[in-house]
Structure 1
Amino acid sequence: MTISTPVRLGDWLADRLATPQARERDIYVTGIQWQSARERTLQQGARQTLLDQIGYLSGPDVPPQAEREGLAALVASRRATGRVVLKRADPRWLQANPSDDPILDAGDAVAIPERPSSVTVIRGDGSLCAVPYVAQAEALYYIRACNPDAAPDWAWIAQPDGVVQKAAVALWNRAPQDPPAPGAWIWAPNRDSGWPESLSIRLAAFFATQGPSGLDDEGHGVAPEQPAPAAAVPQAAQFRARDLPVTASDWGTAGLLQTPTARMNEAGEASVGVSVTSPYTRYNVMLQPLDWLEFGFRYTDISSQRYGPATLSGTQSYKDKSIDFKVRLLKETAIRPALAFGMRDVGGTGLFSGEYFVASKRTGDFDWSLGVGWGYLGARGDIPNPLSVFSDSFRNRPASDVNVSNSGTFSRGYFRGSISLFGGVQYQTPWTPLILKLEYDGNNYQNEPFHQRFTTRSSFNIGAVYRVTSNIDVTAALERGNRAMLGVTLHGKLSNIGTPKVSDPPPIPVAMPSSAASSSAVPAPAPAANGYDWSATARNLEQQTGFTVQNVYRDGAQLIVVFDQVDAFYLEDKIDRIVTVLNRDAPPDVRAFRITLRSRGLPVTGYAVIRDTWVTNHTRALPPIDRQQAVYTSPPAIVPDEDMHRADVYEGSQKRFYVSVGPAYQQTLGGPNGFVLYQISANAYTEARLRRDTWLAGDFNLGLVDNYDKFTYTAPSNLPRVRTYLREYLTTSRFTMPLLQLTHVGAIGRDQYYSVYGGYLESMFAGVGAEWLYRPWGSSLALGVDVNRVRQRGFRQDFSLRDYSVTTGNVTLYWDTGWNGVRVDLSVGQYLAKDRGATLDISRVFRNGVTIGAYATKTNVTGAQFGEGSFDKGIYVTIPFDALFTRSTGGVAAIRWSPLTRDGGAKLARQFTLYDITDKSNPRNLWFAPPSAAQTGPE
């Protein structure tokens, strides 16, 4: 039905669906279409592009000419409708959500179809096959109903609401999917059909604009154009797809039991697990920063070996530390298996070190793997090392044993010694929570750490995984033919962490400028002697955002607002809240808003908002042709000098004091005095802001509960003791002052920043320092220099100082690569122990702000001088508080792991670094979003 006068779709539908004629029809709300006259031109162009692509296909691997002509004829017979996808087509929902309710213009049309009774499959020759709809049947059911011999890898489903979905439907990739709804279109070319994926995407997108299948032009049901024979219709239950379950091995990595597979979890996954197979208990932490990279660390408790002398570690058993990684080299395809390379126990003592290549191939509910391993993974040694053709040194692998002076180095034994095959199969039973595993182990357990030999009765291990919940796995197995194994793994996606902001104030409804003053319970600013009185607006802004309003002033047709103390990570919602208030209160002649964000007085970034465009975007749904960007990142606006005459000015007051009190926790892991030494304390952070750019910060800590009475070991060191006095700093006093620092920051022009600071800079050092940062606005690169003259603090962490002093500092290059959220930081300089070298830090940040990273530092001291570990390294995860709390807030929670505390490569733990202070200048700040929003946007 064509529209003659502008009207809201929700109102129009409510009127039409309330008529007696509509009540008599079986209205299919899911298939209701808004057809925009302006959008038809674009879709006509898209249809022509699709026809051109079909016509231009050439070469030996393309579909036969008859099929190409048939598909082209089908597309040519269909008109461009101008359909625009709606979030929902229910009139009551649209009326309650005006930002998703379009205003129909003259010439637009609305189609109200009846409920179809079939799903239509588009064949490669352009013919259509309609199959009666079966509730919950998936795409492959309809595909096989039309062609029992069909063998597609992927299916594109154009649902009747206009949404296009790509579904994996082959044995090697089958995954859960939304079933096609009545009236869906399905395009699923065979694996060797020759239709390129780009054409499949265009074809599905075009048919999504056609409305539900199985209807005539008036929206009534019609007989199928080519119904599937009843005998050809299979049972829908045969094609219910399930994801391939990826579970942890005994070692924490994705795998079977003792052996790894080439499988990877999705990026953002993390797991913490424990597995027990006498005499080993393994505590595993694994992270998946990228789809093709898995890494983590492990502590292995060897119950048959003491940690050290009883006077040092009592009855504590030996704890071995190790780092693992696995890299996927090839993705699985219909023909080719996935292939991965990995290393176990890299840079540790080497007691369990091993290298491997492994391939995995899925066939439905079975997942097969086959690999070859060196070292611990190939200790059976039943195959000569093929690398020995290059050098005899590859024939034998050096024995691994505990050697503190060498642990942490990159071994010369990699890929040496005989090798062994390993592999197995994983089966997902019909009872979904239960997964069975069978593997052939490449280790014969005759060369175990500390010269142990284990009796084995079988080379095969068998086990089962029970998924208690989506985040908890329990594993039980029989290994070596005579040893029981029990494991528990907690896992989940860090990139999905998010908490609804139920404690934030409710947002203000968006009002059109002309009705702003009358649409809100909060009055618009009243004219003052020199212009508007913005104090009420400023209070509303602070209430809605939690930010501090520093200035509000006019500049022609622009209204500029300057915020300081921007205490939130997710900014998109805050910008919308700001603009909602400004749009309500600003005079009609204000055409744009400029929002400037300052951090501790430094202007770091800005946002320019086109008022009319923003209001339109937030008060009605628009066809793609009319959608415009309303919010632009921009350099921060320059605030005029205070002496200049400005109309409509608001000057905000500054909060002078800030106090935060809460619990704190710290621990040390894997030491000889105990596996976990911990302290629970009360912490108070205070800040006195002398000016916006100058503040005095203090941190005070009172220990409440700990087991530090067991902490008696001070690690040996061949360097100045800058970190290995850890025990003394943790145990000397229950009340400490980790921080008391005076800081001043400033800007030099637009792209350069500086800071000077002094005081008790961290728990172990006091002194003075300065930093300079060059960070062009909107650039992915930044360069910083810091120089510090510091002196070691007394063990009580009070005002006392020790004799040791040093000049330390670094030149640091920061690079946000723009690739998969990866950031690379490289710093070179002099460290606290007066050693010189470089630190490389690589991290990946997800849309919800969670960061997974690792770092390594190598300096000019030898491995023997450095001591155990040979060089400094660590792994960390940071989570923004905005993802954890019910109220918007800034700051992050950091979880860091370093295998050892040594003196080499030790950096000053500086507070208030300029890169962090200016991080709101990151042009991707509006890209960060809570998981619900991030999952619908591009990664």
Structure 2
Amino acid sequence: MKLCIAAVLLVPCGVAHGEPRYTQNDFGGVGLLQTPTARMAPLGELSVNASRTDPYSRYSFSAQPLDWLEGTFRYTAITNRPYGPESFSGGQSYKDKAVDAKVRLYEESHWLPQVALGMMDLGGTGLFSSEYLVANKRYGDVDFSAGIAWGYMGSRGDLGNPLGALDDRFNQRPTAEGSGSFSNGYFRGRPALFGGVAYQTPWAPLSLKLEYEGNDYQHEPRDNNQRQDSPINLGLVFKVADSIDLSAAWERGNTAMFGITLHTNFVSRKAPVKTYDPPPPPLPAQAPTTPMDQVDWAAVSKRLQDNAGYSVQRIAQRGPELLVYGEQQRYFHGAKAVGRASRILDNSVNDQISWFTLVSERYAMPIEETSVPRETFREVVANREDLQDLHRQTEVNRASAHNQTVLYTQSANPLSYGAGLGYKQNVGGPDGLLYQVSADLDAEYRFTRNTWWSGLLSVNLLNNYDGFTYDAPSGLPRVRTDLRKYMTTSDVTLPTFQLNRAVQLDQDLYGMVYGGLLESMYAGVGSEVLYRSMGQRWALGADLNYVRQRGFEQDFSLRDYRTLTGHITGYTDLPFNTQGALSVGRYLARDWGATLDLSRQFNNGVRIGAWVTRTTASKEAYGEGSFDKGLYLSIPFDELMSLSTLRRANLVWAPLTRDGGARLNRAYSLHSMTDGRDSDLFYKNFEKITE
């Protein structure tokens, strides 16, 4: 991941302004202080939150992937409790990881309040587990909330459980096991009422919060009960800028709270102006008159590379249609590349040509072809015709063979390379946040258009893994929990060094074989096939890999452990603009199982997702956490930088690193390589065709 991702959250996006905005509570997630509300952040909102209320330091990441769904990953340090015996954890405080979710059940209307249902510590250790039902009603600048909570937030137990009328088991709440399993104790035990009010003051940056909480702090985790002089908490939020909130409060009647939230929104925010991109070529006053066989196609090809990002393989003509075959290597939004290529072609060919078709390839595999009507494109760019006219006439189809006359063929440039900063992190265990910053050099050499070598050389710059003292116990082969040794044994490593070949087996079927150093911990050989029809909402793939564990130095040395691993994966679109992937197969620790991945991709390519993996590994063999799960965020660098790029920044939050449910981290995926077969992203960003 490139470090410039931090700029999105850390640099203010503008000065403060006065419209009401829902803010985060102490735990992460929209709310008051110690309590949530039924409110939701705007769609696409992302926030990083930190708060301190003695003895708890809380760090969280919250996301709004759907307008009715909020998700939070939280990391809590209980600073007055050790992680374990000093011989085991040194001076480290106890750490807790949790995932929360809140679902809006009803949106506020004129007469009725907004209602939401939420769960804290969903599938986590259960130390702070709580369930709640909450309602909100706004009157001008005042927003009232009231709810009922079970578990941690309702530990005062003011009420009998109304669900006890359904089953006596609801009257008793099981003790949290701290295992990371999904609980069977949801909505059980005596609940308590909570509520409060948020007030937006006339001074735009300042809002005030007052709440009554249902926790009496006499049932705290780790026998850590706290004195509570009052159940009423009072606080404020000061909006330093659109991307920064500072919070302060007086809680429990005797304890101060301080917090900070850094946030942005990838739906409403504008990507930086691409000041380092070349300007789009102007359209000619009239079409050139040069005969087609006298065009300097080598010069056209170079302009297509320099300005439109196309590495041209060949240029051909079929009647009034000009076809350009190549690999687009610069612009994240395909419409922008197609528009710039159309400008260049309009400047280069005579009026015999009425259609421009860009045939997109990846490693010589035809993916899709986009055909643009020349005259309509010219009229739209000149503002003489509406963009919707061009939208209706532009076609995105399966790339297929044509009877054509080849006008130009370009030899490939075999070597490409790049340098940048890399970032790795691991959150979990007594050591807190572990990270590495590295200088990375990646390179690729193409022997043919579909056979290539790729590699990555990484040099450690900054690393706190050398203080990593905890190797988790495991009842499985150590396929991932030797992480510390891989991160600290050598400062110069070869994470990948592999040979690859990809082919189109049929018009909708793709295949790939590869071998070498496949990732930082494994070397081996493998293959993948994918069926993906043009414009369809589903795809089916399979991969099979024979791998051997690498030496801790991450050079060419190997260890004894070896295994066969692979999966069959189905991909499909789901309701609410979400995507799902279900993988079934064998994992690195020789356990069998399935991984379910659910995600939401916004129009600008930002993706928020979560996964869960259950395998044949028992809870005892897996260890703390019981099964694998996590959240991830994938952001195109195009959203962060003033230079167009296809690269992405990927952040992953997994509560624990364990050996069960571990998959091979392959460098290439046919599904991502064939993304052009899904034309939605092209049409959702169609306005970029004029940029």
Pairwise TM-score range, normalised by the shorter structure: over 0.9
Shift of 1:542: 1.4
State the distance in 1 between where 2:389 and 2:688 align. Answer: 22
Cross-structure match for 2:623: 867
Which secondary structure state, in structure 1, belongs to the residue aligned with residue 656 of structure 2? coil
Which secondary structure state, in structure 2, belongs to the residue aligned with residue 629 of structure 1? helix
Cross-structure match for 2:4: none
Cross-structure match for 1:670: 428
Larger RCO: Structure 1 or Structure 2 (Cα < 8 Å, ≥ 6 residues apart)? Answer: 2
1:469 pairs with one of 225, 241, 258: 241
Cα deviation digits, residues 134-167 of structure 1 (max 9, x gap) = xxxxxxxxxxxxxxxxxxxxxxxxxxxxxxxxxx
Shift of 1:820: 4.5
Cross-structure match for 1:924: 680
2:219 pairs with one of 423, 433, 447: 447
State the distance in 2 between where 1:639 and 1:713 align. Answer: 61
Cα deviation digits, residues 364-411 of structure 1 (max 9, x gap) = 0110001000001111101001111222221121233xx5xx521011
Matched, 1:516 2:273: no
Shift of 1:547: 1.9
Q: What amino acid is aligned across from residue 615 of structure 1 in structure 2?
A: R
Comparing 770-779 with 861-870, greater Cα deviation is found at 861-870
Unmatched 5+ residue regions in structure 1? 1-240, 518-523, 641-645, 935-939
Q: Give the alignment's Cα RMSD to 1 decimal.
A: 2.1
Q: What amino acid is aligned across from residue 667 of structure 1 in structure 2?
A: Q
Unmatched 5+ residue regions in structure 2? 1-16
Which secondary structure state, in structure 2, belongs to the residue aligned with residue 536 of structure 1? helix
CA shift in 2, pair 1:703/1:634, >3 Å: same
Which secondary structure state, in structure 2, belongs to the residue aligned with residue 585 of structure 1? coil
Cross-structure match for 1:503: 276
CA shift in 2, pair 1:842/1:680, >3 Å: same
Cross-structure match for 1:853: 609
Cross-structure match for 1:617: 380
CA shift in 2, pair 1:894/1:547, >3 Å: same
State the distance in 2 between where 1:255 and 1:767 align. Answer: 49
Contact kept in structure 1, 2:459 and 2:493, CA below 8 Å: yes
State the distance in 2 between where 1:322 and 1:527 align. Answer: 65
Matched, 1:371 2:152: no
Shift of 1:713: 2.0
- Alignment map for 1:535-554 (pairs within 5 Å): 535-554=298-317
Cα deviation digits, residues 44-98 of structure 1 (max 9, x gap) = xxxxxxxxxxxxxxxxxxxxxxxxxxxxxxxxxxxxxxxxxxxxxxxxxxxxxxx
Shift of 1:549: 1.0
1:254 pairs with one of 25, 30, 37: 30
Q: What amino acid is aligned across from residue 347 of structure 2 in structure 1?
A: R
Which secondary structure state, in structure 1, belongs to the residue aligned with residue 299 of structure 2? helix
Contact kept in structure 2, 1:754 and 1:772, CA below 8 Å: yes
Shift of 1:472: 1.1
Cross-structure match for 1:765: 522
2:119 pairs with one of 343, 348, 355: 343
Matched, 1:715 2:504: no
Q: What amino acid is aligned across from residue 488 of structure 1 in structure 2?
A: I
Contact kept in structure 1, 2:287 and 2:350, CA below 8 Å: no
State the distance in 2 between where 1:296 and 1:509 align. Answer: 47
Contact kept in structure 2, 1:497 and 1:848, CA below 8 Å: no
Which secondary structure state, in structure 2, belongs to the residue aligned with residue 906 of structure 1? coil
Contact kept in structure 1, 2:26 and 2:51, CA below 8 Å: yes
CA shift in 2, pair 1:286/1:527, >3 Å: closer
Shift of 1:667: 2.5
Cross-structure match for 1:415: 187
- Alignment map for 1:321-720 (pairs within 5 Å): 321-400=97-176, 403=177, 406-495=178-267, 496=269, 498-511=271-284, 515-517=286-288, 528=293, 532-622=295-385, 629-638=392-401, 647=405, 649-672=407-430, 674-720=431-477
Contact kept in structure 1, 2:274 and 2:644, CA below 8 Å: yes
Which secondary structure state, in structure 1, belongs to the residue aligned with residue 432 of structure 2? strand
Which secondary structure state, in structure 1, belongs to the residue aligned with residue 428 of structure 2? strand
Cα deviation digits, residues 768-796 of structure 1 (max 9, x gap) = 11111000111111100111111111111
- Alignment map for 1:250-329 (pairs within 5 Å): 250-329=26-105
CA shift in 2, pair 1:246/1:458, >3 Å: same
Shift of 1:525: 5.8
Comparing 246-255 with 557-566, greater Cα deviation is found at 557-566
State the distance in 2 between where 1:631 and 1:624 align. Answer: 11
State the distance in 2 between where 1:242 and 1:498 align. Answer: 23
Shift of 1:567: 3.2
CA shift in 2, pair 1:629/1:825, >3 Å: same
Which secondary structure state, in structure 1, belongs to the residue aligned with residue 88 of structure 2? helix
CA shift in 2, pair 1:533/1:623, >3 Å: closer
Shift of 1:262: 0.1
State the distance in 2 between where 1:278 and 1:627 align. Answer: 60
CA shift in 2, pair 1:543/1:820, >3 Å: farther
- Alignment map for 1:38-53 (pairs within 5 Å): none
CA shift in 2, pair 1:750/1:364, >3 Å: same
Shift of 1:493: 0.5
Shift of 1:325: 0.7
Shift of 1:526: 6.2
CA shift in 2, pair 1:265/1:933, >3 Å: farther
Which secondary structure state, in structure 1, belongs to the residue aligned with residue 28 of structure 2? coil
The structure 1 segments of at least 4 consecutive aligned residues displaced by more than 4 Å after TM superposition are 524-528, 623-628
| Aligned residue pair count | 673
1:884 pairs with one of 621, 627, 640: 640
Cross-structure match for 1:731: 488
Shift of 1:721: 1.1
Cα deviation digits, residues 469-492 of structure 1 (max 9, x gap) = 111111111111111111111112
State the distance in 1 between where 2:148 and 2:570 align. Answer: 40
Shift of 1:702: 1.6
State the distance in 2 between where 1:836 and 1:636 align. Answer: 37
State the distance in 2 between where 1:760 and 1:625 align. Answer: 48
Cα deviation digits, residues 430-485 of structure 1 (max 9, x gap) = 11111111111101111111122222111111111111111111111111111111
Cross-structure match for 1:118: none
Give the structure with higher Rg (CA): 1
Cα deviation digits, residues 333-378 of structure 1 (max 9, x gap) = 0011000000011112211110000000000011000100000111
Which secondary structure state, in structure 2, belongs to the residue aligned with residue 387 of structure 1? helix
TM-score in terms of structure 1 length: 0.70
Contact kept in structure 2, 1:371 and 1:422, CA below 8 Å: yes
Shift of 1:750: 1.0
Q: What amino acid is aligned across from residue 338 of structure 2 in structure 1?
A: I
Contact kept in structure 1, 2:607 and 2:633, CA below 8 Å: yes
Q: What amino acid is aligned across from residue 796 of structure 1 in structure 2?
A: E
Q: What amino acid is aligned across from residue 186 of structure 2 in structure 1?
A: Y
Which secondary structure state, in structure 2, belongs to the residue aligned with residue 259 of structure 1? coil
CA shift in 2, pair 1:418/1:582, >3 Å: same
Which secondary structure state, in structure 2, belongs to the residue aligned with residue 289 of structure 1? strand
Which secondary structure state, in structure 2, belongs to the residue aligned with residue 671 of structure 1? coil
Contact kept in structure 1, 2:444 and 2:453, CA below 8 Å: yes
State the distance in 2 between where 1:698 and 1:338 align. Answer: 53
Contact kept in structure 1, 2:70 and 2:102, CA below 8 Å: yes
Sequence identity (%): 46
Cα deviation digits, residues 651-697 of structure 1 (max 9, x gap) = 1121111121222222222332x223322222111111111101011
Contact kept in structure 1, 2:149 and 2:193, CA below 8 Å: yes
Cα deviation digits, residues 803-824 of structure 1 (max 9, x gap) = 111111100011133x543111
Contact kept in structure 1, 2:437 and 2:460, CA below 8 Å: yes
Cross-structure match for 1:774: 531
Contact kept in structure 2, 1:532 and 1:648, CA below 8 Å: no
TM-score in terms of structure 2 length: 0.94
Contact kept in structure 1, 2:380 and 2:387, CA below 8 Å: no
Cα deviation digits, residues 186-222 of structure 1 (max 9, x gap) = xxxxxxxxxxxxxxxxxxxxxxxxxxxxxxxxxxxxx
Q: What amino acid is aligned across from residue 414 of structure 1 in structure 2?
A: Y
Q: What amino acid is aligned across from residue 335 of structure 1 in structure 2?
A: W
Shift of 1:639: 6.0
